[in-house]
């Protein structure tokens, strides 16, 4: 009788933020002043100091080989550690437990670790996004290093970090991170010219009618129809709207500060989200401090826009129904006509506007699949490898790569002018069959994008 295999999944070991400049001055002995945030919070202070000290040593050691603070990742057998310096002097460190299987052999039990399942690009992106989410709603770390009536500057910063990240980290699901995190992209819903112009006229109308409104985001079935923000900030807000943090805020208040990048500088706005009308969500960025009574403006906005949003939502739904499409066709929701694991699939990614679409379940959606239409972890990682390759070789205007895995997956990557399509075939085929299937999918889904 064989013993059952014990499996440990990928998990977060620690997450901390430090600044060596806050360390002890001459004559002081306390090293804990460097630590601005540490998760798990109940970790003893000696462990916190030891982890920060080790990170400082690794950063200093790596700087002997490079001219800048370019250390990004350190792999060991049991852990994988990611480094990110979002602002001068401030370091964010995320440590993951490598997944393993507990196995038995003649000499006893042992752990077989699977470090190759952790892709550096994906989790470096997760760490960067953790900073961008804080900066979106609280400003930069340096901006928060200001005293208030009750706390000195450093204590105020620590309080802001703890208040945000203790909640944020609880909702991080590391095992569900995939190629979308590496893309940093959102799903757009293309419309015909008439409907798109109607949405644009609606946006122009409310911006002209309500002077405090400076930017709008228009979502239909959680896909972007219109946005007045830069793609990176749009992705951060898009992630926020799909997180439990947003659901919690929506129950308590309608507005909160938001810091948006404009022309190289950060500007503070007030984010207001109108109630969802049928399938439409309308998110507004207001001039900070321009509205005296936010509740009054919120009620007035809803009274004005709700009838129009109801009409627009109905017309979009009828258009998608009459054209034989639904919102899935333009987003990676995976509800394609053939949702089986062996069906041909594709992912399209546009780096210029950070858009993705396709027929593969990604992110949270892959865990809602009935037929298992998601992709194996090794295939996801290979797609990110192909993306890293094209990003590191910008000299090539257009290229195509075909890869076959050991378990009969074929991946075709074609890139042109910062637009990439990944076609995934799960069957034993010849190279001629793969080429023909690729041409069929390109003609059907991304015709006119590639030469």
Same domain membership, residue 99 and residue 37: yes
Measured CA to CA, the distance from residue 188 to residue 290 in angstroms comes to 31
Question: How many domains is the chain built from?
Answer: 3
Q: Which residue did the predictor score with more confidence, 364 or 312?
A: 312
Domain boundary pick from 153, 177, 201: 177
Same domain membership, residue 195 and residue 69: no
Same domain membership, residue 301 and residue 215: yes
Kindly report, residue by residue over 24-39, the tens digit of the pLDDT: 764 455 788 899 999 9
Same domain membership, residue 432 and residue 290: no
Q: Which residue did the predictor score with more confidence, 67 or 380?
A: 380
The answer as to whether 360 is a domain residue is yes
Highest mean pLDDT among 227-236, 275-284, 286-295: 227-236
Same domain membership, residue 49 and residue 153: yes
Question: Domain holding 301: CATH number?
Answer: 3.30.450.30
Domain boundary pick from 117, 144, 177: 177
Least confident range of 65-69, 183-187, 387-391, 421-425: 65-69
Same domain membership, residue 193 and residue 145: no
Domain residue limits at 26: 6-177
What pLDDT was estimated at residue 331? 46
Same domain membership, residue 170 and residue 38: yes
What are the φ and ψ backbone dihedral angles of 158, each rounded to 5 degrees? -60, -40
The answer as to whether 332 is a domain residue is no
Mean pLDDT, range 230-247, rounded to an integer: 87
Kindly report, residue by residue over 8-27, the tens digit of the pLDDT: 889 999 999 999 998 776 44
Domain boundary pick from 148, 177, 206: 177
Same domain membership, residue 291 and residue 254: yes
Mean pLDDT, range 263-277, rounded to an integer: 86
Same domain membership, residue 140 and residue 11: yes
Same domain membership, residue 293 and residue 254: yes
Question: Domain holding 138: CATH number?
Answer: 3.30.450.70
Kindly report, residue by residue over 184-217, the tens digit of the pLDDT: 999 999 889 999 999 999 999 999 999 999 999 9
* % pLDDT > 70, the chain: 87
Residue 334 has pLDDT above 50, yes or no: no
Confidence class for position 130, pLDDT limits 50, 70, 90: very high
């Amino acid at each position: 009788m064989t013993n059952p295999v014990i499996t440990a999944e990928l998990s977060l070991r620690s997450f901390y933020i430090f600044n060596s400049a806050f360390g002890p001055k001459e004559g002081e002995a306390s090293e804990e002043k460097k630590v601005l945030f540490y998760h798990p919070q109940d970790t003893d202070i000696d462990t916190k100091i030891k982890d920060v000290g080790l990170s400082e040593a690794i950063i200093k050691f790596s700087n002997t080989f490079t001219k800048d603070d370019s250390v990004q990742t350190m792999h060991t057998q049991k852990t994988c550690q990611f480094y990110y310096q979002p602002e001068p002097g401030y370091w964010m460190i995320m440590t993951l437990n490598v997944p393993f299987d507990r196995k038995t052999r003649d000499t006893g039990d042992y752990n077989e670790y699977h470090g190759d399942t952790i892709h550096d690009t994906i989790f470096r992106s997760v760490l960067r996004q953790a900073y961008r989410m804080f900066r979106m709603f609280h400003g930069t770390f340096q901006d928060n290093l200001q005293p208030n009536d009750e706390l000195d500057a450093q204590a105020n910063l620590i309080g802001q970090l703890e208040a945000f990240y203790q909640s944020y980290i609880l909702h991080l699901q590391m095992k569900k991170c995939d190629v979308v995190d590496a893309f940093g992209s959102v799903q757009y819903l293309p419309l015909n010219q008439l409907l798109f112009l109607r949405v644009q006229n609606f946006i122009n109308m409310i911006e002209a009618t309500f002077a405090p409104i400076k930017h709008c985001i228009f979502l239909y079935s959680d896909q972007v129809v219109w946005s007045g923000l830069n793609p990176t900030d749009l992705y951060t807000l898009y992630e926020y709207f799909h997180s439990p943090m947003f659901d919690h805020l929506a129950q308590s208040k309608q507005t909160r500060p938001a810091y948006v990048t404009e022309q190289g500088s950060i500007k503070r706005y007030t984010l207001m989200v109108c109630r969802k009308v049928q399938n439409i969500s309308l998110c507004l960025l207001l001039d900070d401090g321009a509205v005296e009574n936010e509740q009054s403006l919120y009620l007035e906005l809803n009274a004005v826009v709700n009838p129009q949003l109801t009409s627009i939502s109905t017309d979009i739904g009828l258009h998608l129904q009459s054209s034989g499409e639904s919102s899935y066709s333009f987003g990676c929701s995976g509800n394609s006509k053939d949702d089986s694991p062996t069906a041909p699939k594709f992912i399209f990614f546009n780096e210029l506007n950070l858009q993705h679409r396709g027929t593969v379940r990604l992110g949270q959606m892959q865990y809602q699949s009935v037929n298992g239409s998601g992709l194996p972890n090794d295939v996801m990682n290979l797609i990110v490898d192909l993306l890293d390759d094209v990003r590191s070789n910008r000299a090539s205007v257009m290229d195509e790569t075909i890869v076959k895995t050991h378990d009969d997956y074929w991946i075709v990557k074609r890139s042109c002018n910062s637009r990439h399509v990944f076609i995934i075939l799960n069957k034993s085929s010849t190279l001629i069959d793969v080429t023909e299937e690729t041409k069929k999918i390109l003609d059907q889904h991304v015709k006119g994008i590639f030469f």
